[in-house]
A = this chain, B = another copy of it.
Amino acid sequence: MSDSRNAKSARPLTLRDVSEAAGVSEMTVSRVLRGSGDVSEATRTKVLEASKSLGYVPNRIAGSLASQKVNLVAVIVPSLGNLVFPEVLGGIAEVFETVPLQPVFGVTNYDPEREEAVLYEMLSWRPSGAIIAGLEHSEASRLLLRNAEIPIIEIMDADGEPIDSMVGISHRRAGRRMAAAIIEAGYRRIGFLGTKMPLDHRARKRFEGFTEAMAKAGLEVADQEFYEGGSSLLKGREMTAAILSRAPDLDFLYYSNDMIGAGGLLHCLDNGIEVPGRIGLAGFNGLDLLDGLPRKLATMDACRAEIGREAARLVSRSVGQDSSGGERIILKPKLQLGETLKRRPPAWTDP
């Protein structure tokens, strides 16, 4: 059972080795190992035993070439450091465990050129489908995707036109809804804190939706602060300190993600700034992380795992089908007011 390497052969095992050990044709071994076609129970057992005792692992490269079928699905995200993406990947993996498809992950670091390179690399393995974050891609990347003739699912965003199918939320709407909730609660001097990354299109869209809804209410973002890189909890503290020292009369801070929002919250609490009495706070993402903070931060769930699951389901469904999906699944994130966004008496606006 484990004597497979008595003589450490350099050559990896092939079907032929198993075929000889079991005394049947390669074809029969192949059938047994794939569980396809009719094989007598006797041969089946014989083959399985031979294969196992040799420690044979089928060569999928040869198999895929011969069958013109690849059970791989390319999954491309901008980053793993941001908690959001591992959660999406988790949702994808969950669904693919139930079907004969295997996700292969690629990371672009928010770089369009890198995205193109990763895409080219992955498509060269002729995957059965591709799931890719965002709707913004270079012209070349879009060409690659279109030419691949496989189901393409663009995820996490719904503001734009997908190449094929899309599953996501509208970040513009998310921004608008949060602005509306803040204004509705009576806050007026509102600051924005976010990432500087010009290539994080979803953060940008949230900001656009936010300012749009503010404008509709006759308001403007009173002050803003941007950051890049580093620990976002610490950055949240620093940015909050900076914006409040510059504009101490702000009564609300909207953060482009929960991590910097949490940092802001900690800064306020440390410095005796009453939340949400003196100042209200809100973030974005609905990270579980928040559950442990001193106050539950107002936020909006980005539907991460659900997006992953839906995307994976779409791929599984359309693999093999010639009718390309063209589906659009737009999820609606739930607003969570938490404990940092509370209605305040109108008088507060000008004490």
Copies of this polypeptide in the complex: 2
Q: Is the CB of B60 within 8 A of A12?
A: no
Residues of B within 8 A of A80 (CB): 80, 86, 89-90
Q: Mark A1-32, 1 if CB is under 8 A from B, else 0.
A: 01011001010110000000000000000000
**A230 interface residue, CB < 8 Å from B?**
yes
Q: Is the CB of B291 within 8 A of A147?
A: no
Residues of B within 8 A of A233 (CB): 289, 291-293
Stretch at the interface among A37-45, A100-108, A312-320, A338-346: A100-108
**A70 interface residue, CB < 8 Å from B?**
yes
> Which residue of chain B lies nearest to A149 when distances are taken between CB atoms in the complex?
B12
Q: Is the CB of A61 within 8 A of B146?
A: no
Q: List 25 A-B contacts (CB under 8 A).
A: A2-B139, A5-B147, A8-B149, A12-B126, A12-B149, A13-B147, A55-B143, A55-B144, A57-B123, A57-B144, A57-B147, A59-B124, A60-B124, A61-B61, A61-B70, A61-B126, A80-B80, A81-B87, A86-B86, A104-B105, A233-B289, A233-B291, A234-B288, A234-B291, A237-B292
> Which residue of chain B lies nearest to A70 when distances are taken between CB atoms in the complex?
B61
Question: Least Cβ distance of A74 to chain B in Å?
Answer: 11
A288 contact from B121, B126, B146, B231, Cβ within 8 A: B231
Interface size on A, residues (CB 8 A): 61
Residues of B within 8 A of A292 (CB): 231-237, 262-263, 266
**A58 interface residue, CB < 8 Å from B?**
yes
Q: Is the CB of B293 within 8 A of A266?
A: yes
Question: Least Cβ distance of A133 to chain B in Å?
Answer: 15
> What is the CA–CA distance of A5 and B65 in the complex, to the nearest angstrom?
24
> What is the CA–CA distance of A3 and B4 in the complex, to the nearest angstrom?
53
> Which residue of chain B lies nearest to A11 when distances are taken between CB atoms in the complex?
B149
Hey, which bits of chain A sit against chain B, CB under 8 A?
2, 4-5, 8, 10, 12-13, 55, 57-62, 64-65, 70, 80-81, 83, 86-87, 89-90, 93, 102, 104-105, 107, 120-121, 123-126, 139, 143-144, 146-149, 230-237, 262-263, 266, 270, 288-289, 291-294, 322
Residues of B within 8 A of A121 (CB): 102
> Which residue of chain B lies nearest to A87 when distances are taken between CB atoms in the complex?
B81
Assuming A61-B65, A266-B294, is B55 touching A231 (CB within 8 A)? no
> What is the CA–CA distance of A61 and B72 in the complex, to the nearest angstrom?
12
> Which residue of chain B lies nearest to A71 when distances are taken between CB atoms in the complex?
B121
> Which residue of chain B lies nearest to A63 when distances are taken between CB atoms in the complex?
B124
Residues of B within 8 A of A266 (CB): 292-294
> What is the CA–CA distance of A102 and B4 in the complex, to the nearest angstrom?
29
Residues of B within 8 A of A60 (CB): 124-126
> What is the CA–CA distance of A70 and B65 in the complex, to the nearest angstrom?
14
